[in-house]
Structure 1
Amino acid sequence: METRATRFATLEEFYDHTRTLEATAEYVVAWCDLSRPGRISGILSAASFCNDGQCSVPPTANERRFPPLPVSVFSRPTVRIANMLYRWLSSRGPSREHYTTVFFPLDRLPWNRLFGPRGFYQLQAVLPKERAREGVTAICERLWHAKLPVPLCVLKQFSPIESPGLLSFPMAGTSIALDVPNTNGARDTLRAIIADVVAAGGRIYPAKDVLMTPAEFQRMYPQWEVLERWRDRRCCSQFWERVTCGIQ
């Protein structure tokens, strides 16, 4: 795939550069640096499949192994240093990469082990287009106020194409995905973020969720009852029990 990186210093620049890149690139996604309170900056990565018949060599399997860590490597100072390093490494010009490197960049790392024995929370939300800017800003402000380290924050724009699935997550607007260490205050902060997303008319991605309440899920996905009518009563996941109040 042909790839190129574009820096942005503000949320408005993210939207401006995204509009420009989407005119020529098939895929556009942003890595965000939230280590400086009050500032949303990062790098937009644009990628398109090559059409010249030349194939990139897939990356060599290099599974890094190390014993479980006694503590998380992620703190606010280490996240800031890691972000500075990533920004520097991403300053190169256009390049050609194998699609697995583009779509699955973290697969080369034992990502979950870096968070130590307490693990981490994942949360992905999408905010409707008309409330996306204020919604993304509000989410970041909650993270800053709680002084949480955020080693991974990803922004992307969703198109207005309507998804037909009963529990489809995408909607026209902005998606924000977070990986947050399971530290003091993380759970309460993420619960507050979920409540904000629901109030804004957005959605939480069920596949990454462990925190939303039945009422929140049912408000975001009102067609859940249609799916419930078709469910085989011999099968029920823990997730479905949680978000449907244990219906059997």
Structure 2
Amino acid sequence: MRALNRFIQVDWQQGTVQAEAGVTLAEILAISIPQGWFLSVTPGTQFATLGGAIANDVHGKNHHLRGTFGNHVRRLGLLRHNEGVLTCSPTEHPEFYTSTIGGLGLTGIIVWAEIQLIPIRTSQIDSTVVRFGNLGEFFSLSAELDHQHEYSVAWIDCLAKGTQTGRGVFIVGDHARYGSLEVDERAKLSMPLTPPVSLINNLSLQAFNNMYWRVHPAQSTRKRGDYEPFFYPLDRILHWNRIYGRRGFQQYQCVIPDAVAEVVMHELLEAIADSGQGSFLAVLKRCGNIASPGLLSFPLPGTSLALDFPQKADLVRLFARLDAIVRESGGRLYPAKDAHMTGGDFRKAYPAWERLEALRDPSLNSHFWKRVTA
């Protein structure tokens, strides 16, 4: 939908932007930051489109305070087969509003949307960084710091075992109170080619994870930096996915309810470490209890774990083990990143799927939807 890339209307007094669905989050930031506004919620890449962010109801490092992207969609234009463009909001065609947010593109084509931004004084981020020695320390830090800061996230070493299971680096941040309103326009690096085999393997992962953990401070350390490295570290390297070689990689993201999160996360990380298949990008974060308007929104009050695995035949066995742990805990997987979820797991985790199916545009379907609703 990138051809739909025009801005329609902006209001810098109220901080609202109305744009076509193919506009990227980076393009929104490029015009909003100089005016003192920022995305209310942003995922880990600014290259997502506005329509894609809505269709997958993306979330970010501040879910505990602001919920999902869908919580900040004021209204949208939805093109449906034989119905034209419908304006959808909490009061206009509300059934299509709730089913389109997180609706995976199945209710129609999002043509445009209007979103609410948040005010900022500067484009820089004040952050606090500290490494932690195990999963228990992560949950202690999260309980202490999350409610004090706008953003909270952790990187973890998913290959660590024993008393170090779940060790990692905890990061909290806030928009700085003073400084300039500049858009980060530094040149990007690029992975120029796709190697025949993955550069991510057990040896490189163990070396990277150990080095990354040790270079971060053992005591809480404050620093100030630009917004792009804080929110979008991988966006600095174009075509970074090529490091996984020609077979590529699979993503795995789950969320586990609060009541059992620490125990179940420990079990998940033990299973990953035992398999010998790790992820250099392993993100752990707590989700809040702000409900999304979307029918199939992924987050729930609990803890989310996101991982990238080089594509191997052994992943089938590992994912089956992880799925069983998530299933028994009452957790669920993220449809936006899924390539393997069973229909039974999907339908149990997202009971509102039948309401979405009833509202699905008859001219639209997807491989994912066929797989999980069959």
Shorter chain as denominator, the TM-score bin is over 0.9
Query: Corresponding residue for 1:217?
Result: 346
Q: Partner amino acid for 1:212?
A: M
- Residue 42 of structure 1 corresponds to 168
Asked if residue 99 in structure 1 is aligned to residue 227 in structure 2, the reply is: yes
**Distance in 2 of aligned mates of 1:176 and 1:21:** 19
Aligned to 1:155: 284
Matches within 5 A, 1:135-154: 135-154=264-283
Q: Distance in 1 between matches of 2:330 and 2:159?
A: 27
Match for residue 307 of structure 2? 178
**For residue 18 of structure 2, what is the aligned residue in structure 1?**
none
Q: C-alpha displacement at 1:93, in angstroms?
A: 3.5
The structure 1 residue matched to 2:255, chosen from 126, 139, 162, is 126
Displacement of 1:186 in angstroms is 1.4
How many residues align structurally?
Answer: 245
Q: 2:201: which partner in 1?
A: 75
Q: How far has the Cα of 1:57 moved from its partner?
A: 6.0
- C-alpha distance after superposition, 1:23-53 (max 9, x if no partner): 3211110000122223210001111011225
| Partner SS, residue 18 of structure 1 | helix
Q: Which amino acid aligns with 1:27?
A: Y
Question: Larger deviation: 104-113 or 235-244?
Answer: 104-113
Is the contact between residue 59 and residue 101 of structure 1 (CA under 8 Å) also seen in structure 2? no
Deviation at 1:98, TM superposition (A): 2.0
Question: Which residue pairs with 1:51 in the alignment?
Answer: 177
Find the aligned partners of 2:196 and 2:180 in 1 and give their Cα distance.
Answer: 45
- Superposition RMSD on alpha carbons, in Å? 1.7
Q: CA deviation at 1:13?
A: 0.5
Does residue 85 (structure 1) correspond to residue 214 (structure 2)? The answer is no
Task: Work out whether residues 191 and 243 of structure 2, in 8 Å CA contact, stay in contact via their aligned partners in 1.
Answer: no
Match of 2:152 in 1: 28
Q: Distance in 1 between matches of 2:150 and 2:135?
A: 21
* Structure 1 residue 87, shift from structure 2 partner: 2.8
Mapped to 1, the partners of 2:224 and 2:182 lie a distance apart of 7
Aligned partners of 1:193 and 1:216: how far apart in 2? Answer: 12
**Aligned partner of 1:18 among 142, 152, 158:** 142
TM-aligned CA deviation for residue 151 of structure 1: 1.5
Larger radius of gyration: 2
What is the deviation of 1:196? 1.8
Partner of 2:128: 4
The alpha carbon displacement at 1:85 in A equals 3.0
Following superposition, the deviation at residue 20 of structure 1 comes to 1.8
Q: Quote how far apart the aligned CAs of 1:4 are.
A: 1.8
Q: Render the CA deviation track for 1:93-143: whole Å, top value 9, x for unaligned.
A: 322222222111111223311111111110110000011111111111111
Rounded Cα–Cα distance in structure 2 between residues aligned with 1:107 and 1:151: 16
Inter-partner Cα distance in structure 2 for 1:111 and 1:187: 24
The answer to whether the 8 A contact 1:191-1:212 is kept is: no
Does the CA-based 8 Å contact 1:56-1:97 persist in structure 2?
A: no
Question: What are structure 1's unaligned runs of at least 5 residues?
Answer: none
Task: Find the counterpart in structure 1 of residue 112 from structure 2.
Answer: none
Structure 1 residue 226, shift from structure 2 partner: 0.3
Q: Which amino acid aligns with 1:103?
A: F
Deviations 1:163-184 (A, max 9, x none): 2311011111110011111124
Summarize the alignment of residues 100-115 of structure 1 with structure 2, pairs less than 5 Å apart. 100-109=228-237, 110-115=239-244
CA distance in 2, matches of 1:93, 1:14: 16
Percent of pairs identical after alignment?
A: 36
Give the TM-score normalised by structure 1.
Answer: 0.92
Partner SS for 1:235: coil
Q: Once structures 1 and 2 are overlaid, which stretch shifts more, 40-49 or 178-187?
A: 178-187
TM, length-normalised to structure 2: 0.62
Of 324, 327, 341, the match for 1:198: 327
Q: 1:59 to 1:46 in 2, by over 3 A?
A: farther
CA distance in 2, matches of 1:140, 1:187: 17
CA contact (8 A) 2:191 2:242 kept: no
Q: Distance in 2 between matches of 1:152 and 1:65?
A: 17
Q: 1:142 to 1:88 in 2, by over 3 A?
A: closer
Give unpaired runs (5+ residues) of structure 2. Answer: 1-124
